[in-house]
Amino acid sequence: MARSTNAEDYQHVPRAVAAMPKDFAAGFEILPHRHARAQLIHATAGTMRVSTDDGVWVVPPQRALWMPAGVAHSIVMLATVRMRTLYLREDAAGFMPQDCRVLPISSLLRELIVRATELPLQYDEGGPAGHIVALILAELHGLQSLPLDLPMPRDIALRTICRRLLESPGDTRPLDAWAEIANLSSRTLARRFQAQTGLSFGAWRQQARVLEAMGRLGGGEPVTQVALDLGYESVSAFCAMFRRAAGASPSRFRARPLVPG
């Protein structure tokens, strides 16, 4: 019998960890929702953009997003996605962060997650399945978060600007132009941006472009096209920015062939 792919079916399983496999087409959106359990949002192929009221995260296959229980979030598939996600019972996830974090996924952890999706929901905790889950929890211990988040400001005018930049990350209008749109002085806009996001306006926009680039590159778009769409006059300038911000060249985030799992 095929396993259910309804997330709600995984919320009341008494086992410490429940693993759900589900595939999505590019562009598919999961509307805002929340879970009773904490969730490790991971995909073995394809890139996702996850949003909450407080921030936006891009999650490529080599990464996962830790989503604490009860946090409302939405997900957009930036490419064809093979989601392989974990739901963790509160007592099993006590060592994990209390806020959203992007985490690195090792080859071992990836294979353990894939194997967990093949286990029955009511697996034998004292048997081999229980050992797999114990290894997953051991691998999650000590993972260091990665700077792939984009904090969202509280101010409505600033949030509107941020949403527009997320929709059109290649928009090159300067701070003064955005301040005029928001009916604020440039100095006030800059000060509020720094206070509410911890980033300058320019740094926030660059981070938005980095995350957008990760999603597009993960979907297989050519580096040159991504660079031009994001407002860069040269590919070399884009590659240098991306390498500084992401710690790797754009080619590292190009799509990989879909593989089993």
- Per-residue pLDDT tens digits of the chain, which is 261 residues long: 445 556 665 666 678 899 999 999 989 999 999 999 999 999 998 888 999 999 999 888 888 999 999 999 999 998 889 999 999 998 888 899 999 999 989 999 999 999 999 998 888 888 999 999 999 999 999 888 877 788 999 999 999 999 899 888 889 899 999 999 999 999 999 999 999 999 999 999 998 998 888 878 877 789 999 999 998 989 999 999 888 877 778 887 664 533 334
Give which of 131, 110, 142, 136 is closest to 42, Cα–Cα.
110
Q: Is residue 2 domain-resident?
A: no
Alpha-carbon distance 23 to 36, whole Å? 22
Write out the two tokens for 163: 């949403």
Q: Is residue 236 domain-resident?
A: yes
Total domains, the chain:
2
Of the three residues 140, 168, 184, the one that is the final residue of a domain is: 140
Please check whether residues 136 and 158 belong to one and the same domain.
Answer: no
Query: In the 8-state DSSP scheme, what is residue 32?
Result: E
Please check whether residues 110 and 157 belong to one and the same domain.
Answer: no
What domain range is 185 assigned to?
152-253
Q: Is residue 258 domain-resident?
A: no
Torsion angle of C-alpha atoms 199, 201, 207, 208, degrees rounded to 10: 130
Q: Using CB atoms within 10 Å of the CB of residue 146, give its burial: 0 to 12 exposed, 13 to 18 middle, 19+ buried.
A: middle
Please state the pTM of the whole predicted model.
Answer: 0.79
Q: Is residue 58 domain-resident?
A: yes
Write out the two tokens for 213: 């680039």
Give which of 106, 99, 98 is closest to 64, Cα–Cα.
106
Please check whether residues 11 and 120 belong to one and the same domain.
Answer: yes
Please check whether residues 111 and 192 belong to one and the same domain.
Answer: no
According to DSSP, the residues that pair with 84 across neighbouring strands are 21
Please check whether residues 123 and 165 belong to one and the same domain.
Answer: no
Q: CATH number, domain at 181?
A: 1.10.10.60
Please check whether residues 43 and 128 belong to one and the same domain.
Answer: yes
Q: CATH number, domain at 72?
A: 2.60.120.810
